[in-house]
Structure 1
Amino acid sequence: MAVSLTRRRGALAVALAVLMVLSILFHRNLIQIQRFTIPISNTTLENMSEIQMRVNDIFKKIDRMIPNNNFTHIDNTTSAGKSRATIISPKDKYCVGDNLTVRVDMFDYLGKRKTYGGDYIRARISTPELGAGASGRIEDFNNGTYHVHFTLFWKGRINVSVLLMHPSEGVSTLWNLRNTWYGYIDNTGKFTNHNKQTETKCGFDLNKSEELCEYADLRDEEYFYCVKPRNYPCGSLTETKSWYSSRSKFTPLQASLFERANVRVEIPKNFEDINVVICNNNTVVKERCKIGMKLEYPSGHFMQQVWSPQACAMSTYHSAEELNRCMKGKFIHIFGDSTLRQWMEYFQNTLKTLTLFNLYEGGWAQQIVVLDLQRNMNIRWKRHGNPFISSSYQSCREDRTIPREVDMIGGHQHTVIILNIGVHFRAYPVHHYIRRLLNIRRALERLFLRSPQTKVIIKTENTSEMDKNYESNSDFYGYVHYFIMQSVFKDLHVGFVNGWDMTTAFDANKIHPPASLIQNEVDMLMTYIC
């Protein structure tokens, strides 16, 4: 008995020692700090992870596209009023289907020709009385000259509009400031311990002198922190909220570039509206849009406010009967921001047989689940995970990033996954966005291995109002995100709903576009999945 007791005491001592070591390692991990910088890491190539190398590669690719301009006076920056747009090789008659190229030459406020590129330009053709519009593709020669390429999709008098959204000096300012600090957004976390609650500061980059709770996804190399409250374990974080801080790093000179009068300014042109006619009656029969087609810009046009893709044919599903027939038997998972929540609201307003399932969550961004038992149909919308900017508290008890959500879906021929992500990342260094997209791609690759029949649809960002908050929420950031998304999801078997192109062609100028545009986005979705 004595020997047995001694052995038990020895075993107990060893177990306690092991638990103590594990506890120390665990708690040390909770307050470990990882400093984020722009993703040009000093880590040696041998020690750098595959994800970090891909982040660096994409960042460098985008960084080479952005000018690095210093200026001492606004007179030396691009002036929309002094610049000019001209048609290359103008013709007396234009036919439907012709290409139109507009040359844009940039000058500064002193009338001096610009010798470098990088201006943020947006171009569009339109015939308002026909409800017609299409985007133009910008070609930058990096010497102050640009070509804007249009396809003349319809007959009639067509207006050409070329807007200087930001001068290259403003683009350089936005890019450098975005990638060097985290001050545009403040985050707060609420911790709950039985019937007590407390709040502390949270964020992606906190003062390492404080004891921090680290919320780490080690596989995906994503991290978030909160200052650890006294007498509350790190696992008791229940809600978070975030908001624009109104802090600015603009100097007075830099701020002058972003006065409202200097944003989204039309560049004068030396030509009138052009007249387009039908030169032949050949009708091109296009195949139905299908998953696997590449993301293009421009990708189509509006006519009578109905979207017509350039490379394929879109079907329309305007009645509840048509939607129900298409969606019957499907499990539809929607992960994204409020622009995809608009799709959910469209379904709820159109399909009166849907029943809302109460999940007892709070906040405007709470998960939405609707069911139609008769048609065996299930649709849910869930926000895309942190960062998600909301000035009211949102529950984080079941908060997951899109890669983790996708990993939880088995998938089959009746499964549809719809996702978008972007606008909530604009106020943070761009490497967060790149890393999240790379992790989404890896999750989709795993999904397609176990369920190649699952359909995945990705919506690009919308253009926005562009009337304030340029430093933290300019459409220039969305423009960069578009190229990153195009690079990351290239050659992946998914379908795209090109929100960036559609909102530009429609001239929506609202992050939440009207119902008529939402209907076209939903029609593209239905064309893919039905």
Structure 2
Amino acid sequence: MRKLVSMKTICKALFFALVLYTAYIMTLRYVVQPPVTFALIPSCRPKSYELVLATTNYRVENEKQQIKKTHRPKAIGITNSSNTRYYVKHSGQSVNAGSYFSVIIEARDINNSHFRKGGDFWYATIRNKVVGLNVAGKITDFDNGTYEATFFAAQSGEYDVEITLVHPSKTTDFIENVLWPMEDRVVWNGNFTSNDNKTYEIKKCKLKVHADYKNACVYSFPLALGTTELVCDKPNEKVFTCDSLTSLKSKNTYIERHFSYLFSDNSALFQKSVTYVRILNGPLKINITETSENIVYHLPECKADLPATISDGFWMKNSWTSLRCKSKQWSMAEIRQCVKGKQLYFFGDSTTRQWNGGLLDLLGLQKSNMTKYPNPKKTYHSSDVVNLTFHFHPFTLGVSNSPYRIGRWEYEIMDNLDTRICNYIIMISPWAHYTQWVKERYIERLYLLRQTVLRLRKRCPNTVFVIKTPKPRNHDTGTSLLYAGDKLIYDIRSFFLDVFKDIGIHIIDVWDMNLAHPSKSKIHMPMRIIYQELYLFLSHVCKVE
């Protein structure tokens, strides 16, 4: 008679089978085939991991994060700045002045294993402090944890090499998948004022997609915003109408609190060890050797739709040399000759207002009594030297009240320009106030702006259109990384380049120019940099002799 197998024996067998299956699963390195659901029981739990595999989620205890699965399994871990290394490509060869050279970056994790996922956000520069020469490197992401930074070796000498991890890929994923789609990242207090100006009421205002909103005041600008509308809670109907909205003030305290919670919950993604941290595992200096040949730049004229280049240019002290096209340093007499008889319109934010003031400086007109400042959102100068008007866009962010509709959408001006003249130079650059918008709504705004440009071009074919890109501003601490960080701004630059390509628009890309300069990146850069941006602008819109 056969003996019955005891329940204890059966449990042991099942236990060891479970252990073997666990080992097999761990060797797959997180490749999960849904709909398997499996969890390690506490007695079998490894010291460093608690693995929970389910149809849509897994959790890694040592990182304390819940990560939503996508169609492609993601590597568990994060780029480790202490282990990440870089080296000069073809290091056995000398780097000659006038040539290009590359630095290869290998992202590594905490275990010093080569990270096999792209998406890290890098800055790369070389600097010769003796002669004041500074260059930014162009980054190529091979999407496998390897990156290449390419530099132009403009002059011989010893250079400091600075490779900076701005954000690891997990942070850029968070920015793309969580921040950009997030609603209510920009909120205003709307001030409704009675007709006798004695009574007012404050109501919350937000940007929302067009819908049939109840008990709300809705403000639509379809030629500027498309389906996006400003929606305010309706004030007391016995005293106010929706036309009573007089000013907007961004709710900075509300936004700061909102982002503080978000930052606290995701602080590991923005800690100092992985945010704006310089990589030290690599050659901190490189020697560029003299060449016996003269360096000659064969560059095209500055024109619309220029192709991308290996390097945008370099700084020699406070003078920028473009490697995209033939730019020059302009004298006041040359600038006056260029803009004579032209009508210039600058549309944008406070960085565009710097251009407005800078151009008046270069023309010797900043203190002219012909320069008028009718309100904080508009400046104009009209004289026999130049006709220049600056308009700030509406719905701005800031610490003070801004009168509602004091700014102007681009179409409101461009659609009403006199077609009998058609001697216009139009520069457009709306970016600094849009990092808190939902991405799709901002892109819709850019495409509508593109249509505004094309409408004016149809009416005035000789109009010159210029787009100025964003630049780094180096918000490197706390919640500012979430609402105005450089990765968000760099994404906006990418939107600009994509939306306005191949339609005859001059693109003034100032990103690498500002990144390369030794001044700390901030929203309003020193005027010596602004003047160099304007020289590049003038090289596009004026004839270079």
Compute the TM-score of the two structures, normalised by the length of structure 1.
0.79
Measure how far apart 1:505 and its partner are: 1.6
- Could you report, residue by residue, the CA deviation over 1:158-189 in whole angstroms, capped at 9, with x for unpaired residues? 33221100111111222222234334333012
Corresponding residue of 1:7: none
Q: CA deviation at 1:514?
A: 0.8
Residue 324 to residue 149, structure 1, CA distance change in 2 (3 Å): same
Match for residue 385 of structure 1 among 394, 417, 425:
394
CA distance in 2, matches of 1:91, 1:308: 29
1:339-354 equivalences in 2 (<5 Å): 339-350=351-362, 351-352=364-365, 354=368
Q: Residue 406 of structure 1: CA displacement?
A: 2.5
Q: What displacement does 1:97 show?
A: 3.0
Distance 1:269 1:199 in 2: 55
Change over 3 Å in CA distance of 1:260–1:174 after alignment to 2:
same
- Report what 2:32 is aligned to: none
- How far, CA to CA, are the matches of 2:495 and 2:114 in structure 1? 31
Alignment equivalent of 1:474, drawn from 470, 485, 499? 485
- In structure 1, the partner of 2:37 is none
> How far off its partner does 1:210 sit?
5.6
Structure showing greater radius of gyration is 2
Letter in 2 for 1:124: T
SS of 1:523's equivalent in the other structure is helix
Q: Which residue of 2 aligns with 1:270?
A: 282
Are 2:132 and 2:315, in contact at CA under 8 Å, matched by a contact in 1?
A: yes
Output the CA distance in 2 between the equivalents of 1:208 and 1:297: 50
Partner SS, residue 171 of structure 2: helix
Counterpart in 2 of 1:95? Answer: 96
Residue 399 of structure 1: aligned partner? 407
**2:466 counterpart of 1:457:** yes
Residue 211 of structure 1 aligns with an amino acid whose one-letter code is N
Counterparts in 2 of 1:410 and 1:267: CA distance versus 1, 3 Å: farther
Q: Deviations over 1:131-151 (max 9, x none)?
A: 222222222122211122222
Q: What is the alpha-carbon distance in structure 1 between the residues aligned to residue 358 and residue 230 of structure 2?
A: 33
What one-letter code is carried by the residue in structure 1 that aligns with 2:441? H
RMSD over aligned CA atoms reads 2.6
Q: Does the CA contact (< 8 Å) of 2:474 and 2:485 recur in 1? A: no
Aligned positions of 1:71-90 closer than 5 A:
72-74=61-63, 76-90=77-91
Q: Is 2:327 the counterpart of 1:324?
A: no
The CA deviation at 1:73 is 3.9
- In structure 2, the partner of 1:226 is 232
Between Structure 1 and Structure 2, how many residues are aligned? Answer: 456
Which runs of structure 2 are paired with 1:81-160 in the superposition (5 Å)?
Answer: 81-160=82-161
1:11-90 equivalent positions in 2, closer than 5 A = 72-74=61-63, 76-90=77-91
Residue number among 519, 522, 526 corresponding to 2:531 in the alignment: 519
Which letter maps to 2:492? Answer: H
Aligned to 1:498: 509
1:196-345 to structure 2, matched below 5 A, reads 196=197, 197-205=200-208, 211-219=215-223, 220-230=226-236, 231-244=239-252, 245-246=255-256, 247-248=258-259, 249-250=261-262, 252=264, 254-271=266-283, 272-281=285-294, 283-294=296-307, 296=309, 298-319=311-332, 321-345=333-357
Q: Give unmatched runs, 5+ long, in structure 1.
A: 1-67
Contact 1:96–1:279 (8 Å) recurs in 2 = no
Deviation at 1:340, TM superposition (A): 0.9
Equivalent position amino acid for 1:414 in 2: N
**Structure 2: stretches of 5+ with no match in the other structure:** 1-56, 64-75
Change in 2 beyond 3 A, CA 1:398/1:423: closer
**Secondary structure at 1:273 match in 2:** strand
Q: Is the 8 A contact 2:377 2:406 kept in 1?
A: no
1:405-424 matched pairs, under 5 angstroms = 405-410=413-418, 412-424=421-433
Please say if residues 99 and 152 of structure 1, whose CA atoms lie closer than 8 Å, have aligned partners that are also in contact. Answer: yes
Task: Spell out, residue by residue over 1:254-307, the C-alpha distance to the aligned partner (whole angstroms, 9 max, x if none).
Answer: 213323453211112432322232241263454442334245563222123211
CA distance in 2, matches of 1:92, 1:103: 15
Distance 1:260 1:528, change over 3 A: same
Query: For 2:59 and 2:352, how far apart are their aligned partners in 1?
Result: 39
Does the C-alpha gap of structure 1 residues 209 and 331 become closer, same or farther in structure 2, counting only changes over 3 Å? closer
Q: Map Cα deviations across residues 33-54 of structure 1 (whole Å, 9 max, x no partner).
A: xxxxxxxxxxxxxxxxxxxxxx
> One-letter code of the match for 2:304?
I
Could you tell me which amino acid in structure 2 is paired with residue 491 of structure 1?
Answer: D
Q: Is the 8 A contact 1:367 1:382 kept in 2?
A: yes
- Counterpart AA for 1:240: L
How far residue 448 of structure 1 moved from its aligned partner, in angstroms, is 1.2
- Residue 153 of structure 1 deviates from its aligned partner by 2.6
Q: Secondary structure at the match of 1:463?
A: coil
Amino acid of the structure 2 residue aligned with 1:301: F
Relative to structure 1, the CA distance from residue 215 to residue 307 in structure 2 (aligned partners, 3 Å threshold; closer, same or farther) is: same
% identical equivalent positions: 23
Alpha carbons of structure 1 residues 324 and 154: separation in structure 2 relative to 1, 3 Å: same
Contact 1:127/1:157 (CA < 8 Å) preserved in 2?
A: yes
Q: State how far apart, in whole Å, the 1-side matches of 2:59 and 2:359 are.
A: 49
Alignment partner, residue 355 of structure 1: 369
Q: Deviations over 1:4-34 (max 9, x none)?
A: xxxxxxxxxxxxxxxxxxxxxxxxxxxxxxx
C-alpha change, 1:181 and 1:128, in structure 2 (3 Å) is same
Q: Give the whole-Å Cα distance in 2 for the aligned partners of 1:69 and 1:445.
A: 49
* Worse-matched range after superposition: 201-210 or 252-261: 201-210
Aligned letter for 1:212? Answer: A
1:221/1:356 CA distance change after superposition, 3 Å:
farther
Aligned to 2:21: none
Change in 2 beyond 3 A, CA 1:512/1:358: closer
Query: Residue 79 of structure 2 contacts residue 109 of structure 2 at CA under 8 Å; is this kept in 1?
Result: yes
